[in-house]
């Protein structure tokens, strides 16, 4: 029996993908005992926040108690910490943290640094669009050019994401009650020069097709990939998507993986500009909920990785999930009022 630990977040897609193996026991850290996915786990724990001084000792205690073999970090903000502690955890418990190196994680997590790194390399510079960074509201007011997109340089899902539109467009959206995720210049005019908790990346609004690529990388080489064309995005983690065999996306991913030194599981996102050129949006150097699409397509990235790590399989030939598979992913969280309050 293999025991895996999923840390710190909502990981329904990972659980479903892992369940393709009958010899896997799944332990998870959850944000609440009422989280729906606790019912899908063999055991769950309410863990301290990842940035708490008690987090690592709590993690090690659970690993030892549950005899965990592999740890899959599933939340962006805790990745750097777990990557930095991976060797310590292995030395103390024998458990392996499934993560890229600390250096690769640090480069991939910070979008501003990521763009800077890839822009400086000939093989990847074509995938980086013009961009800027604002540390304060004042800087943001000066640097935005409508239309554009503003988002934290380090963020989770769509936290802090906003599309900047003209005042007139915002007014029309307001009259329809459709201003979620929108910002306009007039909303910033009367704000002071306060610092953001996380600097904001400013980049053009790209009008073209959006793409995601879920990747399994081993020894610096992509050995499994699921390329997905996003047909519609409903916000947060929910989307309607279709698998594709577009080789442009795969070629771009190969170049980026090589430059950053990514390993194991990652998701790389692109959007096309007005000329159809691929431009990088972000990298999530971890297992995503969308990994379940690879299982639906018969190319389960996470179970293949486990087979390699447990020496059950030494095949390193490339596998691409077949194109034309349409799926809908609904992983959003709804916050419910407590008992006794209006519902």
The pLDDT tens digits for 49-84 are 888 999 999 999 999 999 999 999 987 778 999 999
Kindly state whether residues 165 and 221 are assigned to the same domain: no
Residues whose CB falls within 8 Å of the CB of residue 329, separated by 6 or more in sequence, listed in order:
13, 237, 238, 239, 240, 241, 289, 290, 292, 293
Task: Give, for 221, the enclosing helix (H) or strand (E).
Answer: strand 221-235
- Is 39 part of any domain? yes
- Is 335 part of any domain? no
As given in the structure block, the two tokens for residue 13 are 């897609």
Kindly state whether residues 37 and 110 are assigned to the same domain: no
Q: How many domains are there within the chain?
A: 3
Contact 157, 223 (CB under 8 A): no
| SS3 category, 254 | helix
| SS3 category, 107 | helix
User: Of 204, 235, 263, which marks where a domain is finished?
Assistant: 204
Closest of 180, 237, 178, 183 to residue 212, by C-alpha: 237
Q: Is 83 left (phi over 0), alpha (psi -120 to 50) or beta?
A: alpha
To which residue do tokens 């210049």 refer? 185
What pLDDT, on the 0 to 100 scale, is given for residue 290?
A: 83
Q: What residues pair up with 320 in beta bridges, in sequence order?
A: 225
- Is 156 part of any domain? yes
3-state secondary structure 167-200: HHHHHHHHHHCCCCCEECCHHHHCCCCCEEEEEE
User: Of 204, 223, 245, which marks where a domain is finished?
Assistant: 204
What pLDDT, on the 0 to 100 scale, is given for residue 10?
A: 66
What pLDDT, on the 0 to 100 scale, is given for residue 97?
A: 96
Distance CA 149, CA 162 (A): 6
- Compute the C-alpha angle 218/319/300, nearest 5°: 80
As given in the structure block, the two tokens for residue 291 are 């990994």
Task: Give, for 84, the enclosing helix (H) or strand (E).
Answer: helix 76-84
- Determine phi and psi for 242, rounding to 5 degrees: -135, 135
Distance CA 42, CA 31 (A): 16
Q: Residue-wise over 21-53: b if at least 16 C-beta within 10 A, else e?
A: eeebbbbbbbeeeebebeebbeebbebeebeee
pLDDT (tens place) for every residue of the chain, 343 residues total: 999 999 976 678 889 999 999 999 999 998 778 777 788 899 999 989 888 999 999 999 999 999 999 999 987 778 999 999 999 999 999 999 999 999 999 999 999 999 999 999 999 999 999 999 999 999 999 999 899 999 999 877 677 889 999 999 999 999 999 898 899 998 888 777 889 988 999 999 999 999 999 999 999 999 999 999 988 765 555 668 899 999 999 999 999 999 999 999 999 999 999 999 999 999 999 988 788 899 999 999 999 999 999 999 889 999 999 999 988 766 544 444 444 443 3
- Is 136 part of any domain? yes
Distance CA 287, CA 79 (A): 11
As given in the structure block, the two tokens for residue 39 are 């019912």
Kindly state whether residues 263 and 115 are assigned to the same domain: yes
Kindly state whether residues 80 and 155 are assigned to the same domain: no
Q: Half-sphere exposure of residue 261, counting CA atoms within 13 Å on the CB side?
A: 9
- Expressed as residue numbers, the domain containing 87 is 2-98
> In whole angstroms, how far apart are CA 28 and each of 9, 32, 62, 139, 207?
8, 11, 10, 41, 38
Residues whose CB falls within 8 Å of the CB of residue 176, separated by 6 or more in sequence, listed in order:
none
Where would I find the H helices in 144-268?
167-176, 186-189, 247-260
Kindly state whether residues 144 and 264 are assigned to the same domain: no
What pLDDT, on the 0 to 100 scale, is given for residue 343?
A: 34
For the chain, how are helix, strand and coil distributed in percent, rounded to 5? 35, 30, 40
- Is 338 part of any domain? no
- Is 336 part of any domain? no
- Is 337 part of any domain? no
């Amino acid at each position: 029996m293999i025991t895996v630990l999923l840390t710190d977040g909502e990981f329904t897609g990972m659980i479903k993908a892992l369940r393709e193996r009958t010899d896997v026991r799944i332990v998870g850290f959850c944000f609440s005992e009422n989280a729906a996915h606790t019912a899908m786990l063999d055991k769950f724990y309410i863990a301290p926040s990842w940035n708490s001084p008690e987090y690592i000792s709590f993690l090690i205690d659970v690993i030892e108690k549950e005899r965990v073999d592999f740890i899959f970090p599933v939340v962006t903000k805790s990745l750097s910490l777990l990557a930095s502690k991976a060797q310590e955890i292995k030395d103390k418990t024998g458990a392996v943290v499934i993560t890229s190196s600390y250096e690769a994680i640090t480069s991939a997590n910070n979008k501003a640094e990521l763009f800077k790194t890839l822009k400086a390399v000939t093989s990847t510079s074509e995938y980086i669009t013009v961009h800027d960074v604002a540390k304060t509201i004042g800087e943001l007011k000066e640097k935005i050019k409508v239309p554009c997109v503003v988002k934290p340089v380090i963020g989770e899902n769509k936290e802090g994401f906003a599309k900047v539109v003209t005042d007139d467009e915002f007014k029309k959206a307001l009259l329809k009650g459709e201003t979620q995720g929108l910002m306009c210049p007039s909303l910033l005019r009367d704000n002071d020069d306060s610092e953001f908790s996380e600097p904001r990346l400013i980049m053009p609004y790209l009008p073209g097709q959006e793409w995601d690529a879920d990747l399994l990388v081993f020894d610096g080489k992509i050995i499994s990939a699921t390329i997905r064309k996003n047909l519609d995005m409903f916000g947060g983690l929910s989307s309607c998507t279709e698998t594709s065999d577009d080789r442009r996306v795969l070629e771009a991913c190969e170049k980026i993986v090589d430059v950053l030194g990514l390993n194991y599981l990652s998701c790389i996102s692109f959007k096309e500009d007005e000329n159809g050129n691929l431009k990088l949006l972000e990298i999530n150097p971890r297992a995503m909920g969308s990994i379940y699409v690879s299982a639906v397509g018969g190319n389960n990235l996470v179970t293949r990785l486990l087979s390699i790590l447990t020496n059950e399989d030494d095949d390193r030939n490339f596998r691409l999930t077949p194109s034309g598979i349409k799926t809908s992913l609904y992983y959003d969280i709804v916050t419910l009022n407590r008992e006794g309050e209006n519902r």
